[in-house]
Structure 1
Amino acid sequence: MKKLILLFILTLFGMSRVVAQDNNPSQTSDLKAYVDSLSTKLNTLQHDYDYLYCSHEINQIQSELKDLLNDVNIKSNDILIRCYRGRYDSDLYTTYRSVYNSQVDLYDSVKERVEVGQRAVRLKILSSNFTQNEIDVLMKGCEFLDSCLSALQSSLDYCEFVLGMYRDLK
């Protein structure tokens, strides 16, 4: 019973403090200033997150493109070395052709990912309040993705050419 009375007294004491705080205008203005400060910090964090997200997305796609470009170049060099040795192997040709076809499929999927990533970055640029420098950096990153795609397409064309050279050895 003592606990119940103590709880009742503490509740009344707490309610009187809340009522007293509501009647104090300086505390209300302090609270509004604090909320405004938190809102500003939240907007800054959202801006930073949006920029980091876009940068990360561009860098992630660049990394995938570079990895695929390196794989295609390594395979092309391997085929070219086989051509110089002058030994044709039909099973090896079949394997090379299969690898080339899978790389073309990867190119198509990465190309689609590039397009989606670039659209996402452009939408973030439109919907966020990036500075002009940030916009320039992100747009140059998108342009670099296009040049990486072009280089990858050239490497695939070269790989197909070298693959044709290998096939002609038979």
Structure 2
Amino acid sequence: MSKVLKEYFRQVRSSDAHNYGYGEIFDFVVDASEPNSVDWVITNPPFRFAEEFVLRALSVARVGVAILARSVFLESVGRYNAIFESSPPTKFAQFSERVPMVRGRLDKKASTATGYAWLVWERAAVGLPQLMWVPPCRKLLERPEDYSFPLIDESVLTNRFVL
């Protein structure tokens, strides 16, 4: 994600809680971040920590927050009470085609039954949340070099959520 964002933003700061070979080591949920210290927080958080990511990101970002999450992220009384009641996203962009995600690697042949969407919070936006769809675009946007990125060592991934 960071590699592509660098094509559109002047500066991108990448981080993860563990060393996966890209970006700095920084646990976004645990480590201290200054309020309003970045323009945007754009992330694909681990699903079980997505609520914590959103809450932290809303305090850190000056302009907005965008998370790539399972569509079912909208379902939960706990998330409704913690996030959506007081800070609903300004946009909910559902992928119309399935987005296969394989832990630690890219795979052209991967498939999935899981639906994903972008949830976006924009500080300057007014009005009700906007529902939209991301049209089919995977074949149009993928490039052969996307699959030449170094693969992550699977042994690193097995320890990712050890606290």
Q: Rg: which structure is higher? A: 1
By percentage of residues, which structure has more helix?
1
Whose RCO is larger (CA < 8 A, sep 6+)? 1
Decide: shared fold, TM above 0.5: no
TM-score (norm 2): 0.17
TM-score (norm 1): 0.17
